Amino acid sequence: MKTYLVGGAVRDALMARATDTPATSHVDRDWVVVGTTPEAMAARGFLPVGRDFPVFLHPETREEYALARTERKTAPGYHGFAFHTAADVTLEEDLARRDLTINAMAVAEDEADHPDIATVIDPHGGQRDLRARVLRHVTGAFAEDPVRILRLARFAARFPDFTVAPETLALMRRMVADGEVDHLVAERVWQELSRGLMEQRPSRLFEVLRDCGALARLLPEVDRLWGVPQREEHHPEVDTGVHLMMVLDMSARLAAPLTVRFACLCHDLGKGTTPADVLPRHIGHEERSARLLKGVCERLRVPTECREIADVVAREHGNIHRSESLKAEALVRLLERCDALRKPARFLDVLLACECDARGRLGLHDQPYPQRERLTRVLSWAQSIDSASVAARAQAEGLSGPRVGERIQRARGAAVAQGLDHTAPRDKGAAD
């Protein structure tokens, strides 16, 4: 029985050694065990957890140990595989079924803490492709699993200076043409999409998916944004798809959480359905974006917290951009539409998404976004009102129902107006 460290941990360690920087693996360490059986692993105290093939947790470290395996395609899609594990399956056979050459390297267990070029088992040229900054498939078996298209695109977002090998891109295009992508289940698409959004340059994820044709199958609402013009005085980059990529990369630059990055992805979906005769204007695109967003979220089973903030951003980002011109009463109504008083933390994320949108434009990357600070103060002023006390006084005066709500809204408006008056010189100075 022999044990090997495989995959991302080896890749990241080699990259760190080549660049003389600390290793920061994005994944837990994975191990492959050769020359043993499930029964022998269990006898040594390993806990079986794999459903489709034998995977075990180490009794102490809880790291994953998988028996070396091969696989055979039995049906379209991600689940259409038959797996084979046996004591005679070799490490080389196991590595041959992996997705990319840079992920198909291994080191023996006793070398795992300090992998070196001399000790790396690299039958498919992973070190060569690391040096050349190339994402290349290992074998033609890549085409049997459509999830690998998403994984490669995600790695392109993680390593933005890597290019996709021409033969790999051609293979991905054939996979799309053969309908393999159409068999992907929603959970896997969302899993890879959400992870890709959190990478160093999320725009690369979508650029690769678009290059191979997969974006049109998985997210047609996003794919159709390229080539749609916008008014140049607001969008110097003009093209809506180009703008979207800038917004996503700005969200990474500002270290935004997933909820914000997903909202950025979907904030302008409605511009892809603007009638050609009114372009480059996009009147009413906010409501269209919200409707399209609902379909995306249902199709991909997007988590509730992501869909809720994305809906607010889609509907209100234009009003938030224009909020510096709004008076107190209109600002309170904006807070209410955003449910900011009930969910203030979410509203702050909404403002961050709007800043990404405003700065994700050609030549505006370093522009200030005073709307975010101003609306944060507006929220605090509105929160200063004790709505329960205001409601009790209104009820003591004989008011009820909507009239109590109106009294609370007026009190909040007065607090916001007072705050605006006190900070007007500072706001004016910031604007100047």
- Using CA atoms, how far apart are residues 88 and 352, in angstroms rounded to an integer? 55
Average pLDDT per block of 10 residues along the chain, 432 residues long = 90 75 58 89 87 81 86 54 72 92 92 72 95 96 94 97 98 96 94 97 98 98 98 96 98 98 98 96 96 98 98 98 96 97 97 98 96 97 93 88 90 95 63 34
- Using CA atoms, how far apart are residues 352 and 265, in angstroms rounded to an integer? 13
CB 30 within 8 A of CB 5: yes
| C-alpha of 112 from chain center | 31
234 contacts: CB under 8 Å, gap ≥ 6? 361
> Tokens at residue 174, please?
């054939």
> Tokens at residue 341, please?
């008083």
Q: Return the SS3 of 356.
A: helix
Whole-prediction pTM: 0.88
**For helices 285-300 and 186-197, what crossing angle results, to 10°?**
120
- Using CA atoms, how far apart are residues 317 and 235, in angstroms rounded to an integer? 15
- Using CA atoms, how far apart are residues 128 and 122, in angstroms rounded to an integer? 9
CB 248 within 8 A of CB 202: yes
> Tokens at residue 402, please?
């909507």
